[in-house]
Amino acid sequence: MSEVSQGGRQPTIREVAAHAGVSPMTVSRTLAGGVNVRPDVQQRVLAAVRELGYHRNENARSLRPGQASGLIGVAITNLGNPYYGNFALGVEEVAAEYGRRIVLGNTGEDPARERQLIADFIGRQVEGLVLVPSGGASDHLQPERLGDIPIVLASRRVYGLDVDAVLLDDVGGAYRGTRALLDAGHTRIGFLGNVRSVFTGQRRYEGFARALAERGIEPDPDLVQREQQDVESARDAMRRLLDLDDAPTAVFSSNNRNTVGALKEIGRRLKAGADVSELPAIVSFDNFELAELMPVPVAVIDHDARQLGREAARLLLSRLGGVDRRGPARLVEMPVTLAPSSTD
Amino acid sequence: MSEVSQGGRQPTIREVAAHAGVSPMTVSRTLAGGVNVRPDVQQRVLAAVRELGYHRNENARSLRPGQASGLIGVAITNLGNPYYGNFALGVEEVAAEYGRRIVLGNTGEDPARERQLIADFIGRQVEGLVLVPSGGASDHLQPERLGDIPIVLASRRVYGLDVDAVLLDDVGGAYRGTRALLDAGHTRIGFLGNVRSVFTGQRRYEGFARALAERGIEPDPDLVQREQQDVESARDAMRRLLDLDDAPTAVFSSNNRNTVGALKEIGRRLKAGADVSELPAIVSFDNFELAELMPVPVAVIDHDARQLGREAARLLLSRLGGVDRRGPARLVEMPVTLAPSSTD
DNA sequence: CTGTTAGCGCATTCAA
DNA sequence: TTGAATGCGCTAACAG
């Protein structure tokens, strides 16, 4: 009968050593790959490990100089958003490929929470950080304040912070999406977006406005709704747009949450008897499942959140190799694709 | 000028102590709440902490007997699925409320990966585990093998493993969903589900079959498709169902992925000119965004993944209090609601 | 090839 | 109220 973990406490390297009749160092060496340990001794050690259910204490291990913790801190604004779920998945995958684990925190767009999380991550000796910044001040993110732990920003950048970042081609995507609407003959185009302080919101508005400007159209303030963070408020904003005397014939939605809110409002109106022809066409920055089944045409500015996560993790891990640990900040801008609603 | 982290290394308690002109113990006491430290000394210490950018090393701290790591290990089958993203969010929220952080791993339904992840989590001295089990053998999950670290299973149970679990009312939900189809006059009802080894797949099929049996209907093997794990294969399965000479007039889909796949196939047929009246009604176990906008009626067996996560975390944390650390296994079954497609 | 010594950062215990 | 000694689990450096 094996005698796993009698006391509820984890067995230590010393207990394994005693069990195998060797010194702790021999156990350590065996677990580190077995260099300079006789094969038969290794077998004895490994048998003892199995019998006792021993797991090397990574925390104690990382205490030694030169031993990294194997942890990556990941702080995300909203895990409940499928977009960020996929992003986290991408980070996790690449981290796992490199033997790292992720410690995950949700900031909920709250800068104070972000600050706490990062402080905690540092205390846990993470090797690096991946952050979707929630906006606001950047002082706690300066490299010195992080003890020179590498950080990669994702989706958004922070003004005045010169670190690696992975962004989308927000401006270009929004520009092309808006152009598509203009080319289809729309001139009154609504805009649904984030609060101004959100980096992507700003950039996507920029692409939107640029496309209009090229056609000599000044954005109508009534048609620009920029304060929505969730589906409910997005729906309200869409309602306001559609209730205008001179309602837009098309709407540019600058993210997932706004698109879903807008479509919910459209669904309500259809059920209330509205005719599809009265309802606006939509271009959505961010894809979503089943977009092709929507009752109004929804073109999608698509991109792969998981790839974004993978790229962020790759940037970060490249800083851990030691070579370019302190190289100049790199900016990766991932392409987006504009797909009409009919494709799948 | 403050002199944060000169060498790229994190400052230690000793450096803070030297900076403040006290002993390391005084720093430790101050950070632990400040009992038996003179207020003015505390101020000096805290000033030194700020100036040096000191973060207590949680790994070293947890090395001391009686000090927990503050980590919860969470292993999920697929973070990319919005359902599990929300689940993870729920776990994270409650963990954070109790000062815990989560270490997250994605198993991808791979038992080997699950085993590695859990071994790693134990090595990181997690205080507890939350697991969406990927099926298969359960030996590595037995309490002794986990060194008596509390574990909570979510969504699925593992045969032969008597530990805390949070489940949905799979059987009841599937039963009621199927009943609703029967009451609407359907007698040929298709079933889209998971591979047999998945716990929820089994349970949901059970509810489905029970409802049919009550009406004296034997499930037609042609109508039962149970091998789909992703959207693509679900779509193929739906295609097979609809291509039958005697195609079903309604389909029960036992999860999110299957529902999306089924709807994609429906979308394809609509675009190819099919008439809505020829297409089956759908009941979906698992809600999804914009279900109310689908071209065919989709009733939804809904539940809150985030709540499921919160409940799992609560169960786990109650085991960490020390009181009922070793009480009998508890089973929480969360209710589900059946909502017709017309509601929002 | 194997073992001994020492110390990583911290907090408990004991002494002052 | 403060500090010194000690050891948590592990492994680099050295000795054998």
Q: Is B293 on the interface with A (CB under 8 A)?
A: yes
The reply to whether B144 and B250 lie within a common domain is no
The reply to whether A130 and A178 lie within a common domain is no
pLDDT grade, residue A242 (50/70/90)? very high
The reply to whether B116 and B147 lie within a common domain is yes
* pLDDT at B323 (0 to 100): 63
Mean pLDDT (whole number) for A248-256: 95
* pLDDT at B298 (0 to 100): 94
* pLDDT at B1 (0 to 100): 37
pLDDT grade, residue A50 (50/70/90)? very high
Whether residue A275 is contained in a domain is answered as yes
Question: Tell me: the pLDDT tens digits for B211-221?
Answer: 999 999 999 99
The reply to whether A189 and A262 lie within a common domain is yes
Whether residue A132 is contained in a domain is answered as yes
The reply to whether B262 and B220 lie within a common domain is yes
- The CA dihedral of B270, B272, B273, B279, to the nearest 10 degrees, is -40
Which one-letter DSSP state was computed for residue B81?
Answer: S
Provide the whole-model pTM.
0.90
Residue B192's beta-bridge partner residues?
B225, B253
Nearest-CA distance from B215 to chain A in Å? 34
Do B104 and A88 count as a contact with CB atoms less than 8 A apart?
yes
Q: Is B54 on the interface with A (CB under 8 A)?
A: no
* pLDDT at A65 (0 to 100): 87
**Which range in A62-66, A91-95, A277-281, B339-343 is most confidently predicted, on average pLDDT?**
A91-95
Partners of residue B295 in chain A, C-beta under 8 Å: 293, 295
Residue B214's beta-bridge partner residues?
none
* DSSP letter string, B23-50: -HHHHHHHHTT-TTS-HHHHHHHHHHHH
* Amino acid at site B109: E
The C1' atom of C11 and the CA atom of A55 lie apart, in whole Å, by 24
The C1' atom of D4 and the CA atom of B13 lie apart, in whole Å, by 16
pLDDT grade, residue A143 (50/70/90)? confident
The Cα–Cα gap between A143 and A220 comes to 41
Which residues are within 8 A (CB) of A170 and not within 5 positions of it... i.e. 6 or more apart? A200, A203, A204, A206, A207, A285
Residue nearest to nucleotide C6 (CA to C1'): A64
The reply to whether B285 and B222 lie within a common domain is yes
Give percent of chain A above pLDDT 90: 78
* pLDDT at B192 (0 to 100): 97
Do B10 and A63 count as a contact with CB atoms less than 8 A apart?
no
Whether residue A62 is contained in a domain is answered as no
Do B104 and A102 count as a contact with CB atoms less than 8 A apart?
yes
The Cα–Cα gap between B228 and B196 comes to 10
Nearest-CA distance from B263 to chain A in Å? 8
* Amino acid at site A57: N
Q: Which is more confident, B229 or B205?
A: B205
**Chain D nucleotides with an atom closer than 7 Å to a protein C-beta:** 1-5, 7-13
Residue B281 in contact with residue B296, Cβ under 8 Å? yes
Mean pLDDT (whole number) for A257-274: 94
Would the pLDDT of A5 be above 90?
A: no
Q: Crossing angle, helix B305-320 and helix B82-97, to 10 degrees?
A: 40
The reply to whether A86 and A183 lie within a common domain is no
Select from A92, A122, A148 the Cβ nearest to the Cβ of B55. A122
The Cα–Cα gap between A37 and B210 comes to 61
User: Residue A318, Cβ neighbours under 10 Å: how many?
Assistant: 16
CATH code at position B152:
3.40.50.2300
The reply to whether A180 and A259 lie within a common domain is yes
- B13: closest chain A residue by CA: A123
Number of domains in chain A: 3
CA neighbor of B121 nearest in space, from B69, B78, B160: B69
Whether residue B284 is contained in a domain is answered as yes
* pLDDT at A139 (0 to 100): 86
Whether residue B57 is contained in a domain is answered as no
Residue A94 in contact with residue A335, Cβ under 8 Å? no
Mean pLDDT (whole number) for B133-140: 84
Q: Which two tokens stand for residue A225?
A: 């709704």
CA distances from B80 to A152, B33, B54 (A): 21, 41, 36
* pLDDT at A344 (0 to 100): 45
Helix (H, G, I), strand (E, B) or coil at A86: helix
The Cα–Cα gap between A149 and A227 comes to 34
Averaged pLDDT score across all residues of chain A? 92
CA distances from A235 to A198, A227, A258, B122 (A): 19, 12, 7, 45
**Edge-to-edge strand order for the sheet containing A250-253?**
A224-225, A189-192, A250-253, A281-285, A298-302, A337-339
The reply to whether B180 and B298 lie within a common domain is yes
The C1' atom of C15 and the CA atom of B67 lie apart, in whole Å, by 24
The Cα–Cα gap between A58 and A60 comes to 5
Range of the domain at A111: 71-168+306-336
Whether residue B190 is contained in a domain is answered as yes
The reply to whether A201 and A288 lie within a common domain is yes
pLDDT grade, residue A4 (50/70/90)? very low
* pLDDT at A81 (0 to 100): 86
Helix (H, G, I), strand (E, B) or coil at A130: strand
Mean pLDDT (whole number) for A37-65: 95
Residue B171 in contact with residue B203, Cβ under 8 Å? yes
Do B288 and A288 count as a contact with CB atoms less than 8 A apart?
no
* Amino acid at site A130: V
The Cα–Cα gap between A57 and A69 comes to 11
The reply to whether A146 and A228 lie within a common domain is no
The Cα–Cα gap between B257 and B284 comes to 10
The Cα–Cα gap between B41 and B143 comes to 46
CA neighbor of A319 nearest in space, from A172, A113, A129: A129
Question: Tell me: the pLDDT tens digits for A68-125?
Answer: 999 999 999 999 888 899 999 999 999 999 999 999 999 998 999 999 999 999 999 9
The Cα–Cα gap between B34 and B25 comes to 11
Would the pLDDT of B6 be above 80?
A: no
* pLDDT at B99 (0 to 100): 94
Whether residue B238 is contained in a domain is answered as yes
Would the pLDDT of B342 be above 70?
A: no
With helix as H, strand as E and coil as C, how does A246-308 read? CCCCEEEECCHHHHHHHHHHHHHHHHCCCCHHHCCEEEEECCCCCHHHCCCCEEEEECCHHHH
Q: Which two tokens stand for residue B325?
A: 């650390």
- B118: closest chain A residue by CA: A55
Mean pLDDT (whole number) for B136-145: 85
CA neighbor of A139 nearest in space, from B170, B299, B50: B50
CATH code at position A43:
1.10.260.40
Whether residue B291 is contained in a domain is answered as yes
**Rg (alpha carbons) of chain B, rounded to whole number:** 26
The size of chain A, in residues, is 344
The reply to whether B103 and B210 lie within a common domain is no
The Cα–Cα gap between A321 and A333 comes to 23
- The CA dihedral of B114, B118, B121, B122, to the nearest 10 degrees, is -170
